[in-house]
Structure formats: C-alpha cells, structure tokens
Structure 1
Amino acid sequence: MRRFAAFILLTLLGACSTVDDLAPPSSGAPSVAVRAPRFDDSDPHEWDSGAPWSYAVHGTDVSKYQTSVDWPAARASGISFVFVKATEGGDRFDAYFNEHWSRTKAAGIPRAAYHFYYFCTPAATQARWFIQNVPRDRSAMPPVLDMEWNPQSPTCKLRPNAATVRSEMSTFLEIVEKHYGKKPIIYTSIDFFDDNGLSAFRGYPYWLRSVAGHPRKRYGSHPFTFWQYTGTGIVPGISGKADINVFNGSEATWNKWLRQNTR
C-alpha cells in the first residue's frame, strides 16, 4: 500500500511540471550590467590612489561622434548609465541624439540628455532650445548642463566674467528644472571650475572631469555625483575612444539614486 501511495504521489508531482519548468533559461533574456568593471584604455593614467575601478558603477557619454553603438554589448560589459548629447547653443541639435536616446532605453540603460553651453547666445534661449528637442521622460535621469571653455569654437570666443557665468548658469538651470521637474546635473572641467568660482555654486549635483587624478586632488572637497576619468577608454560596443565615468557611491546607493531621480 505504501509503495502504491508513493507511486501515486510521484505521478501527481510529475503532472505538475511543464516543459517550461524543465527548459533552460531563454538565451534572449536581457543581459545584466557587470558591476565594478575595469575597462581597457588606449592611453591609461597611472592611478596612485582612488583608482576609478574601485567604484562599483560605470557609464559613458556619447554624441554624434559615436555612431552605430551596440548598446546591449556595452551594457553587458558594465556600462550602467549613459549621458547623451542633445543640443548646443540655441540652434544646434546633435544628429545622433534620437538614435542614442531610443536605443539606450531599449537596451535598459538609464540615460540623461545634456546641453553644451554656448556663450554667445542668451541662457534662456538655450534652455528653450533644449526643452524643444528633449522630450519629457520620467524614466530618464536628470538633464545635464555642460559648462566648459571652448577655445576651438569658430563662432564664439567670448569668455564672460565669473559672476556673469554663474548668473547664466542659474537662468538655464532654473528654466530646465521647472520644465522637467528634476534638478539638473552640472558637468564641468578643472579650469572652468576654478576660473568661475564654482566651488561656491552649490545646490546641484556635479559631474566632474578629472583624467589625471582623483577629483579630491583636483577639486578639493567639492562634492560630486559622477566622475569622468578618461576620454580614451575602450568599451565593447563602441568604436574608437570612449569617455568613461563612474557614479560616486556603491551599487546600493546607485539604485537608491535612480529610484529618486527617474520617476
């Protein structure tokens, strides 16, 4: 009787299983970004301390100069976020913005749009141009204002004084924040930061460029959320040299930051 009962039980358990239960996971499942990756670099810096690969979450930034990116491959290699150039000045729109914007989202990579500031166009005009070209998307990270000197510009050699620069930044940031409902991020370089007294320009998250030393050595104690540590990185899925960035925090902190800023 016990043998018969055991046979009945095994038969019933077998009937509860399906082909899907027994099959291996689908190979079409999305890949998961690798944490704490260490990317190759075509011109590496010798980090004596604060090496970027000690950070858990890495990302990149792209514009029209990065074409036909394989975003699933980049994500699988460890790219966890992307900054995408959208606009410049009051009349320039990046030719690859729409492609990068849609394909990063399709690949499941958090992304933000950025605007490159042009000193010969009023700040309000530039803010309206950015808003005209970048759709509201609650799943996107906050917009970015890229502030740096551009001595190679063929049309604008203007270098306003520090007070004017900070005033124009405030105008742009306030208009954009009101439209998108998210506090924008400021990207800047060491010389621009120092020239314009941005150590006193607080209240916004910063994305700092520092390719020859940790931001602590270049910007002192100024807080930062993102750090661009190279412009010569090698990222699978991206042809040629790539900018690589890190998020200043653990993976848990990153996930918390995303929840707070992508809704």
Structure 2
Amino acid sequence: MRILTKFMLGLMLVLAVACSRTPTRAPSAGPGANPQLGDSRPHSWTSGSPYGQAVHGIDISRWQGNIDWNRVRGSGISFAFIKSTEGGDHVDPNFRRYWYEAAQARIPRGAYHYYYFCRSGFEQAQWFIRSVPREVGSMPPVIDLEWTNSKTCPRRPSPAEVKREASVFMDIVGRHYGQRPIIYTTVDFYRDNRLGDMRAEFWLRSVADHPRVRYPGQRWAFWQYTGTGIVPGIQGDVDLNAFAGSRSDWVRWLNTRLTR
C-alpha cells in the first residue's frame, strides 16, 4: 500500500505540474519531442513526422534488461507499456520488476498481453487477470493483436473469429480493471482482419509512414513509430511511441483512462 500511495501522490504531482505550465519551446526536430531521445536508424518522414508530437513513451519487455527508470523519466518519457503475458501460460520474467520500478519513478504504466490464436479469448483474459495487479492509477490494459511466427501456434483464424475472441478478452478484462483495453496492432493484421469496426482505442504500429497513410480513416491514441529508439537509461534499441494529442490532451486522457 505504501508503494501505491507514493505512486499516486507522485502521479498527481506530475499531472498538476503538466496542467499548470505551457511548454516554453516547440519540440526539437529529431527523433522525439525531447532532444534527449534518439533513433539508431532514423526514418525520413514524408507524410507527417512523429517528432512534432508533444508526448512520447516506450514499450518494453524482458529484452530491455536493467533499466534506470529515473533517467528514463528525466529524458522526457511520459508513459510505458510493459509486456505482462502471452497466450494462456506465460508471464514476461521482468514484468513484476518493471511494474514496480516504473511506479517508483512515477511513470504512468500499463500492461500489454501478447495474444495467441491457439487459446480462447476467455482463457487468455483469465490468465491476464491472474498475472496483472489491478492497481489504482494504472493505464488501461492492452491486447496486442498481430500475426505470430510461433511454431507452436501457426493458426491464422478468420477475421470473424479473431474479432469475436478478441472481444471476449476485452469484455472480461475491461470489466475487471474498469477500463476497456486498448488494441495494439500492425498494418497487415489490421488490414487482413478489418479491425476498424472494433470498439476500442487503437495503438498503431507504423514505422515507415504516418498512420493516416497506413490506416486510412482510423483514429488512434498511440503511434509506435520506431523499434530502434534510443532512450537514456535503457541499453540498446527500444520501441518509441507518440500520443495523439497535446500535453493538455495527455493530462485529460490520463484523468479519464486511469484505473480507479
């Protein structure tokens, strides 16, 4: 309880500061709104760049190893999506540690589930709930929908089955955490399964062009724009993401979408 109280007090301070001040300079021209962020393989954006977005974050899994979360926060990172579970029987070995450390650094964080097509949505929802704490102040859960290259699960079900089972997962998980999950997806999976008619906020992967080009007409809350980001406090490449709105929009989004 003391850890959670510290996290909530810190998050409230972050929100209060963000609401009370306006950035004094425009985002720098580079890989991210903050000049401390970088990209080991920067892309030449032609249809709209993520660098002008005001709010940036990371998504991580065990492959990021030891993380200096205070340096991450100091570099301008505003949120973290942390891999928690996969299928119906796997937990990322670093999830609990990252979950605790991000909270200690007062970085808003949420858990994401890597969905497998050889388990039902019900089974995977139950596994996620058993593995991820329901904590006040957490960001909404995420369901990661993409084609897998798993030798143990090579299935590619029909769009109708994909959306039906994903909706089961989202309904169960949404009721438990009090926030409907965000859908993370890729260009090919979105297209193959016609995901645009699903009821959810979207987190879209688009590393070669703006989401409005790769996902015509689709609104999005988060944009994963590179897998080769550079963030102080993290060794090696890391995924970087942009939030769709301004800093004020970000504060409003947090006030609406955090678990209560």
| TM-score between both structures, scaled by the size of structure 2 | 0.86
- Deviations for 1:134-158, whole angstroms, at most 9, x for unmatched residues? 010120000000000012x121100
The offset of 1:200, in angstroms, is 1.8
Aligned to 2:183: 186
8 Å CA contact 2:226, 2:240 repeated in 1: yes
2:167 and 2:77 mapped to 1: Cα distance? 31
Matches within 5 A, 1:99-178: 99-151=97-149, 153-178=150-175
1:256 and 1:117 mapped to 2: Cα distance? 29
What is the aligned counterpart of 1:206 among 202, 209, 224?
A: 202
Q: Does 1:251 find its partner at 2:247?
A: yes
Match of 2:63, SS state, is coil
2:83 and 2:61 mapped to 1: Cα distance? 5
Match of 2:166, SS state, is helix
2:153 and 2:98 mapped to 1: Cα distance? 28
8 Å CA contact 2:230, 2:237 repeated in 1: yes
Matches within 5 A, 1:15-30: none
The offset of 1:49, in angstroms, is 3.4
2:244 and 2:52 mapped to 1: Cα distance? 10
Aligned to 1:232: 228
- Deviations for 1:144-174, whole angstroms, at most 9, x for unmatched residues? 00000012x1211000011100001110000
Match of 2:66, SS state, is coil
Which runs of 5 or more structure 1 residues have no equivalent in the other structure?
1-29
Runs of 4+ in 1 over 6 A off after TM superposition: 32-35
8 Å CA contact 2:47, 2:213 repeated in 1: no
1:213 and 1:143 mapped to 2: Cα distance? 26
Give the aligned length: 232
The offset of 1:123, in angstroms, is 1.1
Aligned to 1:217: 213
Aligned to 2:8: none
- Residue 95 of structure 2 aligns with an amino acid whose one-letter code is F
The offset of 1:67, in angstroms, is 1.1
Q: Higher relative contact order by CA 8 Å / sep ≥ 6: 1 or 2?
A: 2
Match of 2:41, SS state, is coil
8 Å CA contact 2:68, 2:234 repeated in 1: yes
Identity across aligned pairs (percent)? 52
- Higher mean Cα deviation, 125-134 or 44-53? 44-53
2:117 and 2:179 mapped to 1: Cα distance? 24
RMSD of aligned C-alpha atoms? 1.7
Aligned to 1:45: 43
1:113 and 1:211 mapped to 2: Cα distance? 22
Which runs of 5 or more structure 2 residues have no equivalent in the other structure?
1-13, 28-32
1:155 and 1:214 mapped to 2: Cα distance? 34
Q: Which structure's CA Rg is the greater one?
A: 1
